Amino acid sequence: MCALRRAPTLAHMTKHNIVQLTGIDKSYRLGRVMVRALSEVSLDIARGEFIALAGPSGSGKTTLLNLIACIDKPDRGRVVLDGVDVTAVPLHRLAETRREVLGFVFQTFNLLPVLTAWENVEYPLLLRGVPRRERRTRVERWLEHTGIADQARQRPDQLSGGQRQRVAIARAMAGDPKLVIADEPTANLDSETGTRILDLLGEINATTDCTFVFSTHDPALIARAARVVRIRDGRVASLDEATAAA
């Protein structure tokens, strides 16, 4: 769960990884041609990181996110998520892992149009069988935390882009994920709204144990990241410690 972050003790100061990628290769068939999307990618992501995957279109960022998210499998190599080698688990059995460990935020929001903001946040909890009283507590907490509580009864088509993204963030966090995966979370927002969303995501990361992994082209988001993994031609080109926030 994303519990409030405790002051570090000797045990907590030891680095623990939420994600470990080792020797990852991934190719796709396009017609008669095999296209290498990732090649020999190895990467460790520590618990609590705020990390950006940056690179041009077609560099392999989305493929890498899909592997971390247990949506796809590598052709070669290992993906270890929260201590479990998920490459050894069939894809159809990873739905529970996604529900229990991961939260998702998308550039297109992916809200259910016929449900209100409240119902969109509550829906994944219903699928998990969370008791009604606990669902209510979680939904109220995260709608309030994301500043969207006053729009709880509105449907997505009645909300602005920034409001819809706040609902999507509340939905992701209500499941108490250990890792939030965000694919271009500011891409469909104007710069001012995007800045407010980044402020919110940074505040959540700073006050919880949740890890955030983004794919992005947004220089503002890259500047906010504690670490930037630059992907080029399916390989890790560099690992940059961000200095803008220092």
Q: Which CATH number fits domain 48-73+92-241: 3.40.50.720, 3.40.50.300, 3.40.50.150, 2.40.30.10?
A: 3.40.50.300
pLDDT at 56: 86
Please give the full DSSP string across 152-165, using - where no structure is assigned. Answer: TT--GGGS-HHHHH
Rounded Cα–Cα distance for residues 163 and 218 (Å): 19
pTM over 0.85: yes
Q: Is the pLDDT of residue 123 over 70?
A: yes
The tens digit of pLDDT for each residue in 47-74 reads 999 999 998 888 999 999 999 999 999 9
pLDDT at 37: 95
For the chain, the domains span: 48-73+92-241
The tens digit of pLDDT for each residue in 213-240 reads 999 888 988 999 999 999 999 999 887 7
